Chain A
Amino acid sequence: MSYDEILLCIFGLFLVSYIPRVLPFALLGNRELPRFFHLWLQYVPTAVFGALIFTSIFGSGAEGFRFSWENKELVASIVVLPVAAATRSLPYSIITGLVTYWLAQQVM
């Protein structure tokens, strides 16, 4: 891509990223939503982070899962998870993760 093509690409990226972000605000407004929808929304955040974490650690089936103890992401996460659960703190989770992953890199 040329310099200008990259800028055009960024504009396209803005459009396709902004539309999903703004659409719910534009469509739902102040409308009262059905009770089941409310219940469903309560479970979306935990489900999305569970899905992001599992796929970041194990990869994808199409490319072959990383189900092994050689998997440093898995090893580090086994340490980070209890720390996160105990502290519910973003900084502690990140620091524990970086230190453990670094140690795993040295040892494994």
Chain B
Amino acid sequence: MDGFINKKVLKAAWPIAFGYVPLGLACGILAQKTGFDWFQMLMMSTFLFAGSGQFIALAMIGSGSTIMPVVMTVCIVNLRHLLYALILNQYISGRSWLYKAFYAQEIVDETFAVNHTQFVRLGKEWTGENAIGVNFVGHVSWIAATVAGLFLGNTVYIDTALVSYALIAMFIGLWSFHFVSPSLVLTGVLGGILALVLSFWLDHMLNVVVATIVAAAVAAAYKAIAERGAEG
């Protein structure tokens, strides 16, 4: 049973759980205000499992939206997970269908970034079981924090702006994993600028998805041309 939950996995996964405590509590408190009970919260955190997706869905339900607009908005917000799956596929392509079907449900910004970094750094030393372990710790801590937040509800005060900033700080931490070459940093900055420009026309994070696709393509084209130049 080496692999699923061990020291190596916990060392990589605990920062995710650490970040999910304030975010999950805030999400649970919002759900309580929206009128959710613990079962609905449990279902949502288990089957949707998406930080920003859940916040947006709860805000829309709270303001009286019908089902379709909520579903369509969250679909767009979560489209970026498709990019993560494209990348992760390289590392888990040899695994069983069951493994992949299970893994897919656990793809969020944080589990993706942590596992991807470990796959790149450790190569074969980071096993499929280790990755599932990180996903498990992330998902369970998210479920626990959101359900706890729901029970706490009005009894505690949480500064929403401060908690929202924890997410941005977490994104900056996840981005910093890529500060290993100037080209990677520049590609991130390009992605950021493009996303801001596109935000005039695209919303619900569609600008983020398009900016990512374009910025990565520009960087890849640049790299391909540079390599060809070096060969010729």
Contact = CB atoms under 8 A, between A and B. Distances in A.
Please indicate whether A and B come from the same complex rather than being unrelated chains.
yes
B187 A16 contact: no
Interface in A53-100: 53-62, 65, 72-73, 76-77, 80-81, 84-85, 87-94, 96-98
Interface in B181-195: 183-185, 187-195
Contacts of A98: 22, 162, 165-166, 169
A9 B70 contact: yes
A51 B170 contact: no
B89 A24 contact: yes
B224 A28 contact: no
Contacts of B71: 9, 12-13, 15-16
Contact of B184 (A13, A43, A51, A54): A43
Contacts of A47: 187-188, 190-191, 211-212, 215-216, 219
Contacts of B75: 16-17, 20
A51 B189 CA distance: 8
Contact of A50 (B57, B78, B190, B199): B190
Contacts of A101: 161-162, 165, 169
Nearest to A86: B176
Contacts of B43: 7, 10
Nearest to B101: A22
B140 to A, nearest CB: 18
Interface string A16-41: 11101111111011100101101111
Contacts of A26: 100
Contacts of A3: 37, 40
Interface stretch (B1-9, B45-53, B126-134, B146-154): B45-53
Interface residues of B, number: 103
Contact of B105 (A21, A24, A97): A21
B15 A50 contact: no
Contact of A16 (B74, B80, B205): B74
B120 to A, nearest CB: 9
A57 B196 CA distance: 10
Given A16-B78, A24-B89, A28-B86, A76 B169 contact: yes
A39 B177 CA distance: 18
Contacts of B221: 36
Contacts of A97: 165-166, 168-170, 172
Contact of B207 (A30, A55, A94): A55
A39 B165 contact: no
B90 interface: yes
Contacts of A17: 48-50, 53, 74-75, 78, 81
20 contacts: A6-B40, A21-B105, A33-B90, A35-B224, A41-B86, A44-B83, A45-B87, A47-B190, A50-B215, A51-B212, A52-B171, A55-B199, A55-B207, A61-B200, A73-B168, A84-B172, A91-B18, A91-B173, A101-B162, A101-B169
